Structure 1
């Protein structure tokens, strides 16, 4: 890895570590939520995308950068509010990451490319953007799906699974179907896919 990559990655993780919210990992240790999310994203990248570039690795690591600073509740309820919040978060995370990259010595062009990936520009057409989306979907299914499904009405949860599935590549589908899930989560996925 280049010195610019190592410096940028360290700067990204330092910002992740500022998340005041914490989560408990499987081994019982505590970690800032956003740092745990970022590490989970990076863990999925190799299985999803063969030999990822430095730029893709940075985009995947920074996808939720400082997301806690603008809570979802500050936007209107419903799908439109959610999509606006998500778009704004992607733009902000991309701009911050691009700045960190240029401070570390990356070109403006490389920084712009990573910001575009974080903003998911070209999803469905750009293999690297698709890889980032696949990682996000797999992290959700592996780590947050079970808890989330207990808080959301059943039929709405079925639609969420269907929408998530449509955003994923065939490779990500294979990986998702191999995830260990509780009986209730597995049943929910099966129902969603049978109706898709």
Structure 2
């Protein structure tokens, strides 16, 4: 049975993410952290926008590919260090994915497009970059907001929620309000957004 470039790329992206030494327990099952994140991204994309192009589908799966290989601690622990780490991560994710896509037989044009999306270029101007950003924010709000709330004080969390909200489209906002939040988190979101 022959496999498509998309199937091969998906298998290879999953194989890379499955090597994550960090684990997360979800519904009593232990997963490699970035594999779980990748699966959540892809599932959320397909739920939110089932007609997403193949480039966006791959970019969603590869958004954090091998993220553990560039540790936050290897950069200065200040805002400048954080922003440099984030920029370097985007390039690293794009380059790691490009190697996989080349092996899968994709064209240079397609690979360039996926890299463009992973690096989140022209946010608010490019519809597919915006779609990917919406999915990133929705996954954060649904699965990762709670751990953040437990780590940070209330005012900082309100700021994080507001920044997340401002990155999203109106359609993303509507979808975000449908998520089944805990009562405490819903109150925090409403407070942050002045709802």
**TM superposition score category, shorter chain reference:** over 0.9
Give runs of aligned pairs for residues 1-196 of structure 1, distance below 5 A: 3-26=4-27, 28-194=28-194
In 2, the alpha carbon distance for the partners of 1:136 and 1:4 equals 24
Distance in 1 (CA, whole Å) between partners of 2:76 and 2:188 is 28
SS at match of 2:31: strand
Deviation at 1:50, TM superposition (A): 4.3
Deviations 1:72-102 (A, max 9, x none): 1222223322221111111001011111101
Q: Using the alignment, how far apart are the partners of 1:98 and 1:115 within structure 2?
A: 7
**2-structure distance, mates of 1:143, 1:23:** 11
TM-score by length of 1: 0.94
Contact 1:62–1:93 (Cα < 8 Å) also in 2: yes
Matched-pair contact (CA < 8 Å) for 1:48–1:134: no
Structure 2: distance between partners of 1:169 and 1:53: 18
Q: CA deviation at 1:187?
A: 1.1
Farther-moved stretch of structure 1 (57-66 vs 47-56): 47-56
Q: Residue 48 and residue 78 in structure 1: after superposition, are their counterparts in 2 closer, same or farther (change >3 A)?
A: farther
CA RMSD, Structure 1 to Structure 2 (Å): 1.5
Whole-angstrom CA distance in 1 between matches of 2:81 and 2:142: 26
Unaligned runs of 5+ in 2: none
CA distance in 1, matches of 2:103, 2:146: 40
Structure 1 runs, 4 residues or longer, greater than 6 Å off: none
CA distance in structure 2 between the partners assigned to 1:31 and 1:147 by the alignment: 17
Q: 1:72 touches 1:85 (CA, 8 Å); kept in 2?
A: yes
| Aligned 8 A contact 1:48 1:131 in 2 | no
Residue segments in structure 1 that go unaligned for 5+ positions in a row: none
Q: CA deviation at 1:48?
A: 2.9
Rounded to whole Å, the distance in 2 between the matches of 1:173 and 1:104 is 35
